Amino acid sequence: MVRLPYLTALTTLFSYGLLFAFGQLRDFFRKIIDWSKSTSKGLKGYAPICLGLEDFYTRRLYLRIQDCFSRPIASAPDAWIDVVERYSNDNNKTLHRTSNTTKCLNLGSYNYLGFAAADEYCTPRVIESLKKYSSSTCSIRVDGGTTDLHNELEELLARFVGKPAAITFGMGYVTNSAIIPILIGKGGLIISDSLNHNSIVNGARGSGAAVRVFQHNNPSHLEEVLRELIAEGQPRTHRPWKKIIVIVEGIYSMEGELCQLPEIISVCKKYKAYTYLDEAHSIGAVGKTGRGVCELLGVDPADVDIMMGTFTKSFGSCGGYIAASKEIIRYLKYSCPAHLYATSMSPPAVQQVISAIKVILGEDGSSRGAQKLAHIRENSNFFRSELQKMGFEVLGDSDSPVMPIMLYNPAKIPAFSRECLKQNVAIVTVAFPATPLLLARARICISAAHSREDLIKGLEVISKVGDLVGIKYFPAEPPQHQEQGHKKLE
């Protein structure tokens, strides 16, 4: 639960109000100036791409701090990266690259197990497969796009995750958008967590089923919603629902929290709803052997009907997968549009995932996998506890490698980001619309490639900048009040 101090809420609202007022003023003057000049040629009779307030946020708020986002890098997204310097001649409206780079500590990329850069086991094998299979098959999976690499990956993946069969796709986003419409259609019901990712929302919308939301990570509210909706039936006709799917994520990327999987599974089993678990951020990153939230929370993979994940985060590749029973996978292979219409996954990327899974399982003959897993767990717990000691408001459960630090005020977003960059630490800041309006944050992603010295340097810089910007909202309380403080953090 996020704690929002009353005074901070007021000041944040005031800042946004001020920015909005200034934005409207500038829009007003822009309209006057444009009206006195001639209308733009060639676009007469065409409605503009964005009318009025539709892109107000983009033009007046986002463009002012554009240099904090989309920073290009000139190296692999490893623990240390070369951030390209950019300059602007027109007050941040357009940014131009220079050829100078600064070496910065990377606390923003999803590189949980450190497979991002060239790896001693994976890269030679990837290059070999590139020379054998070339960079693309130029064909869809059901035509000529299935190579023996793809089959090998699917078997290995099914074994790794603990399900009977698996199917892979070239992009994680497409996996969600194309699978959900196949599993459920009109007459069905999707109940999804309120903070689910955009790809799940898109898939749910594209399916045509009714969509309801339950309070984030709250199994008792889920039970309430299920009881109410099953008793009511479909809207207006009150016919019984054809089927119900509950969609949750393993680790929520903006909160760093683990989902309360055992309780949610027991609720779903009681009411005969199907469960769909999206493990984009948790597969490979949590759990004793890297098998995700099911292993961490002690849930049997057979209890989850469909497990989905991506290869971008922990395996250093690209693509997504679905693991489920053999019949479901067979049906998906027959009808899923992403399987029937999209180019198959690039063979070198497939080989990277195969090698990464082998390293994690220890099948490459070394113990690097176990070392990486232990490393990321230690790093996350160390970093989080240090940040909390310093007085930052840090979200997320222990063992989770994603930790958001709350900023709240819109002006602190560019301040934090730019000051950290000046001291050679690359930070990711997120604001509206990816998060609620008042809850802007800086998100840290820890990697197994970070060494203890890297983390200590990061902590120093963050502490200094935190003092400068003023985000240490909850300084460490004296020992008598420590217990209450811990309770609030739950």
Partner 1 sequence: MASAVMNMTTAALDWVSVAFDAPLARAVVFGVHIDGHLVVEVLLVAVILFQLTRKSYKHPKKPLTEKEIDDLCEEWVPEPLHPSISEDMKAEPPTLESAAGPHTIIDGKEVVNFASANYLGLIGNEKIIDSCVSSLEKYGVGSCGPRGFYGTIDVHLDCEERIAKFMGTPDSILYSYGISTIFSVIPAFCKKGDIIVADEGVHWGVQNGLHLSRSTVVYFKHNDMKSLENTLEKLTRGNKQAEKMRRYIVVEAVYQNSGQIAPLDELVQLKEKYHFRVILDESHSFGVLGNSGRGLAEYYGVPVEKIDIITAGMGNALATDGGFCTGSVRVVDHQRLSSSGYVFSASLPPYLASAAISAVNYLEDNPSVLSSLRSNIALLWKGLSDVPGLTIASHPLSPIVFLKLKKSTGSSKGDLELLSNIADRMLKEDSVFIVSTKRSVLDKCRLPVGLRLFVSAGHSESDIHKVSGSLRRVAATTLAEHL
* Residues paired with 320 in a beta bridge: 169, 310
Closer by beta carbon to partner 1, 181 or else 396: 181
Closer by beta carbon to partner 1, 59 or else 472: 59
Closer by beta carbon to partner 1, 84 or else 411: 84
Q: How far is the CB of 485 from partner 1 (least distance, A)?
A: 31
Contact 408, 438 (CB under 8 A): yes
Helix (H, G, I), strand (E, B) or coil at 167: strand
Closer by beta carbon to partner 1, 17 or else 144: 144
Dist CA 310 CA 148 (whole Å): 20
Contact 477, 487 (CB under 8 A): no
The H-or-E segment that residue 3 falls in is: none
How far is C-alpha 273 from the chain's CA centre?
26
Contact 199, 169 (CB under 8 A): no
Q: How far is the CB of 404 from partner 1 (least distance, A)?
A: 13
Distances, alpha carbon 447 to alpha carbons 29, 147, 343, 383, in Å: 48, 32, 31, 11
Q: How far is the CB of 358 from partner 1 (least distance, A)?
A: 15
Dist CA 52 CA 165 (whole Å): 50
* Residues paired with 245 in a beta bridge: 190, 274
How many C-beta atoms surround the C-beta of residue 359 within 10 A?
26
DSSP 1: -
Our CA angle for 279, 257, 448, nearest 5°, is 70
Closer by beta carbon to partner 1, 8 or else 250: 250
Closer by beta carbon to partner 1, 146 or else 388: 146
Closer by beta carbon to partner 1, 235 or else 470: 235
Closer by beta carbon to partner 1, 126 or else 248: 126
The number of C-alpha atoms within 13 Å of 8 and in the hemisphere containing its C-beta is: 21
The H-or-E segment that residue 288 falls in is: none
Closer by beta carbon to partner 1, 171 or else 359: 171
Q: How far is the CB of 287 from partner 1 (least distance, A)?
A: 20
Burial grade of 259 (CB within 10 A; 0-12, 13-18, 19 or more): buried
Closer by beta carbon to partner 1, 19 or else 76: 76
Our CA angle for 354, 355, 361, nearest 5°, is 90
Q: Which residues of 100-133 are buried (b: 16+ CB within 10 A; e: fewer)?
A: eeeebbbbbbbbbbbbbbebebbbebbeebeeeb
